[in-house]
A and B are shown apart, each in its own frame.
Chain A
Amino acid sequence: MSTSAFQLRSKFRAATDRAVTLLAILATVLVIAPLAVIFAELVFKGAASLNWSFFTKVPAPEGELGGGMANAIVGSGVLLGIASLIGVPIGIGSGIYLAEFGRGTKLADAVRFTADVLNGVPSIVMGLTAYALIVAPHIAFLPFLGHFSALSGGVALGIMMIPTVCRSSEEMLLMVPHAIREAALGLGVPNWRSTLSITVKTASPGIITGCMLAFARIAGETAPLLFTALGNQFWSTNLNEPIAALPLQIFIYANSPYEDQQRMAWAGALVLIVLIVLAVSLVRFVTSRGVLKGNN
């Protein structure tokens, strides 16, 4: 009697175990499926309308066939350049502070915490801030204020880069062995010099990959550009004027009633995703090989 109840119970337990295993596998498949579907769709729809003029021509006027996204690709490059000029030095600097000077202090904990929280602030809020900082104010002797501009878009993206770059470079700097710092200091090298030319240099592959990840993240950002960079249908590399950007152009074309422009949106999305996947895979490849150790 008692043995059969026991057997029943252990059968039930084994069955539950198997059911949960199946459910977990099912969940994994369900999560990977959208990825596969999205990629298939992107390649299928995007590749069809990718051609040479996509990379060399500016958008065609409404309702006309043809044209390309050359200005958007260049514009994205300009925006990312401004963003990196702001985000990379400040991000690495704060990473250095956290890893080299602030270890174990309350201030460093607070900075780390704030950076993580800032990382979760919606990108559209960054756009509003850049708008309030650069687009809204009219000051006579500062001609770069008061209008939509590439500069404001770059600032919005740059602010977004800081926390990501900061946290990843801190992580990389913490991996540099102490003996290297001690060796440098033992030779009488000043602290700042040992930090810059020895610690940072040793960690530089990791720091660069961190920067690239941040780069890949902001390359696809659309929301902060909607009312800062604004978009542009023509060639422009002027920092004081609205500028086109790849994600913005995708957004505009996605909402377009013309089928040709919708196809263009898919092609743009394909280009964007290829760039991002390349960056992420490169990062993955570099970090998995442990370049930090094999640097010299």
Chain B
Amino acid sequence: MDTAVPEIRVSQPLPEPEPEAPHPSVHPSAHPVAAAVPHEHSVIRRYLLARGNSALADRLFKLLMLLCALSIFMIVALIAYQLFDKSQLNWAQTGLKFFYTAFSDPYSKQPVYWDPVNGHFSALPFVYGTLVSSFLALLLAVPLAIGVAIFLTEMCPGLLRGPLAFLTELLAAIPSIIYGLWAMYVLVPLLNAYVNPVLYRGLGWTGLFSNDNPTGLGYLASGIILAIMILPIVSSLTREVMTAVPHSQREAVLALGATRWEMIRTGVLRNARIGIVGAIILGLGRALGETMAVTMVIGNTPEIHKSLLSNGASMASVIANEFAEATSDLHRSALVEIGLALFVVTIIVNAIAQLLVWAVTRGAPRQAN
């Protein structure tokens, strides 16, 4: 009977409250109750004593879990240290100038940004390409994302809400390589045949759209594919922030005679604006670091062009393209330094975004009451 005790306590605490518990009073051959109670206590006491002091095990367990939690800090520190360490070689050569100047060719007077053979490295075209494609992506994605969030939280019939939310989630689960494949073989030919000529004819005078690139690759194509990729993140976070706005706000505005749009504008969007900005910044963070899809459609030439239809390169794409076949230690170190910059920027961008989103969603329950 003593052997039954550990089984009951340890593995099945929830169902069946002790089918054959060693309680003397229900047992057929029970002792008198007065004698049985101290006996039962001593069984537990004996059982516990036999298992040793659990305080040590508890403390060890807590320590182990703490170590797991602390490993997250360690990973961030490790990434920072490794990238810093491996980029020292290039840092010693050019320092901060790496990010804003270019080597000027003495004969042709043309700027040379990226020349692994002669050892001239400047991250300028990659920083430019990353910024241009990311901001293009935000420009396209943000209005759509907010529109979707408004539709899903305020207008959508309840029956549709679940499936639509699931579909946008699914959009977020598609890997970047598949977006890249699709963009390369479907989007880019489409743009090249139908969109780019129209843009050149209509807006060519601005200088932003040239017709000297027959491939259709470039900043615009990568901006569009990035927009599709960050849409689900921005819209789902915006939705989260908007649902955190208490209903009393909506009711108050409606009670004053507002139409639905006026209610959304003054009651919801105005209250959620900090969180929405956070969602947009988080989308920016994703766009800055996105690698594969951009690598496949940006064209991968280390040049700076004003035209959005020209080939370019981004920080992530140059690492993806050249790191495995880097020709020298300096080359590799320059690529790692670009990676370090990417890491630092995304950490900062993500931290700001997270704080902004938390500022809205965290206070939500308190406001609602």
Query: By the criterion CB–CB under 8 Å, are B186 and A37 in contact?
Result: yes
Cβ proximity bits A207-228 to B, threshold 8 Å, 1 near / 0 not: 0000000001101111100110
Which listed segment binds A: B61-69, B111-119, B205-213?
Answer: B61-69
Residues of B close to A21: CB separation below 8 A: 155, 260-261
With A and B bound together, what is the CA distance between A194 and B10 in angstroms?
A: 8
Given contacts A23-B147, A159-B75, A195-B61, contact A266 B173 (CB under 8 A): no
Decide yes or no whether B4 CB sits under 8 A from chain A: no
Residues 49-79 (chain B) with a chain A CB within 8 angstroms:
54, 57-58, 60-62, 64-73, 75-76, 78-79
A97 touches B177 (CB 8 A): no
Q: Would you call A27 and B82 a contact (CB within 8 A)?
A: no
Say yes or no for A258: interface residue by CB 8 A criterion: no
Contact B15 A124 (CB under 8 A): no
A35–B180 CA distance with the chains assembled, in angstroms: 14
Contacts A94-B72, A226-B320, A254-B296 hold; do A217 and B173 have CB atoms under 8 A apart?
yes
Partner of B261, one of A17, A92, A124: A17
Chain B interface SS verdict (over half):
helix
* A131 at the B interface (CB under 8 A): yes
0/1 per residue, B73-91, Cβ < 8 Å to A? Answer: 1011011001101100000
CB neighbours (8 Å) of A251 from chain B are 177, 180, 292, 296
A83 contacts B by Cβ under 8 Å: no
Interface membership of chain B positions 320-336, coded 1 if the CB is closer than 8 angstroms to chain A and 0 otherwise: 10011000000000001
From A49-57, A59-67, A183-191, give the one contacting chain B: A183-191
Supposing A188-B44, A222-B176, A272-B178 touch, asked if A132 and B86 sit within 8 A by C-beta, the answer is yes
- CB of B72 within 8 A of CB of A31, answer no
Question: Of B24-32, B120-128, B163-171, B303-311, which stretch is located at the interface?
Answer: B163-171
Assembled-state Cα–Cα distance A14/B156 (Å): 18
B14 touches A180 (CB 8 A): yes
CB-based contact B168/A41 at 8 Å: no
The residue on A at minimum CB distance from B233 is A120
CA distance A184 to B123 in the complex (A): 59
Q: How far is the CB of A279 from chain B (nearest CB, A)?
A: 8
Is B288 close to A, CB under 8 A? Answer: yes
B354 touches A117 (CB 8 A): yes
Q: Is the C-beta of A133 less than 8 angstroms from some C-beta in chain B? A: yes
Interfacial chain A residues near B139, Cβ < 8 Å? none
Residues of B within 8 A of A284 (CB): 166, 169
Query: A residues 162-184 with Cβ under 8 Å of B?
Result: 162-163, 166, 180, 183-184
A115 to B354, CA, bound (A): 11
A-B pair number, CB within 8 angstroms = 287
The dominant DSSP class at the A interface is helix
Contact of B175 among A180, A276, A296 (CB under 8 A): A276
Interface residues of B in 163-207 (CB under 8 A from A): 164, 166-171, 173-182, 184-186
Q: Which residues of A contact B68 (CB under 8 A)?
A: 89-94, 96-97
Which of A124, A247, A273 is the most central at the interface, judged by chain B CB atoms within 10 Å of its CB?
Answer: A124
Residues of chain A within 8 A of B64, CB atoms compared: 93
Count the A residues whose beta carbon is within 8 Å of the partner chain — how many?
103
A24-B150 contact given A13-B259, A90-B68, A254-B180, CB 8 Å threshold: yes
A223–B79 touching, CB < 8 Å:
no
Neighbour of B15 across the interface among A101, A190, A265, A296, CB < 8 A: A296
**Does B108 count as interface, using CB distance less than 8 angstroms?**
no
Q: Are A121 and B336 neighbours in the complex by a CB distance under 8 Å?
A: no
User: What B residues does A113 contact at CB under 8 A?
Assistant: 351, 354
Given contacts A31-B235, A120-B289, A120-B350, 16 further A-B contacts (CB under 8 A): A20-B260, A38-B178, A97-B68, A122-B290, A122-B343, A128-B336, A131-B323, A189-B13, A190-B54, A191-B58, A193-B54, A220-B175, A221-B176, A227-B324, A247-B175, A269-B178
- Can you spell out 7 A-B residue pairs with CB atoms less than 8 angstroms apart? A42-B182, A121-B289, A194-B13, A223-B292, A227-B323, A269-B178, A280-B170
Task: Return the 8 tightest CB-CB contacts between A and B, nearest first.
Answer: A220-B175, A122-B289, A27-B147, A93-B68, A190-B54, A192-B61, A120-B350, A24-B151
